[in-house]
Amino acid sequence: MTYRYDSYCGIYCGACLPLQIAKRRDAAARAQGRPLGELGEKECRGCKTDFVAKEWCLDCHFKKCCKDRGIEFCHECPDYPCDRYLESYNNHSSLAYHRLAPVNLGRIQEAGLAAWLEAESARWRCPACNTEVSFFDKACGKCRTAVKDHNDQEKELGQRPAQPGT
């Protein structure tokens, strides 16, 4: 089962939805002969796959635009940041992980995709037991240790990032 944790716009899909994390746990359980959890056959493997669980991921403008242009990330487009990207960035004021998407694109450009994915994977794990956590978790689902959520990540990176292209 292949998962992709990078997205076209810069969101880290590996921590996006508790659904995706739960499905990876179900896949591991299935491989070990244990029963599936409550999610059954719902599936999300990341926005760059054909298995996405949410309608907004299926109909994402950035996914369609990047695929049509044959690019992997919005920052590879000569029109980046386009009006649509800026509108999306500015209209998600309550979602820090959306606001950090342009920062993530910059980190991908600077460090490379593999290094960014490794850093994000480490970032979105419980510090006590190494269990994956989502953007929205306040505590680890396994050991109940407090974890940092997407708002904490934004604070760690400083104030709200500047608009892309400025």
Taking only the tens place, the pLDDT of each residue in 73-102 is 999 999 999 999 988 877 766 678 888 889
By the 8 A CB rule, do 164 and 85 touch?
Answer: yes
pLDDT of residue 95: 78
Lowest-confidence segment of 84-93, 132-141, 157-166 by average pLDDT: 157-166
Amino acid at 103: V
pLDDT of residue 36: 46
Question: What are the boundaries of each domain within the chain?
Answer: 13-156
pLDDT of residue 51: 79
Q: Which residue has the higher pLDDT, 157 or 98?
A: 98
How many CB atoms neighbour CB 163 within 10 A? 12
DSSP 3-state of 161? coil
CA angle 50, 1, 117 (to 5 degrees): 80
pLDDT of residue 25: 64
Lowest-confidence segment of 27-31, 44-48, 70-74 by average pLDDT: 27-31
**Residue at token pair 């990176």:** 157
130: left (phi over 0), alpha (psi -120 to 50) or beta: left
Query: CA–CA separation, 96 vs 152, rounded Å?
Result: 9
Q: Which pTM value belongs to this model?
A: 0.79
List CB contacts of 94: < 8 A, sequence separation 6 or more. none
Length of the chain measured in residues? 166
DSSP 3-state of 76? helix
Q: Is the pLDDT of residue 109 over 90?
A: yes
Query: CA–CA separation, 19 vs 17, rounded Å?
Result: 5
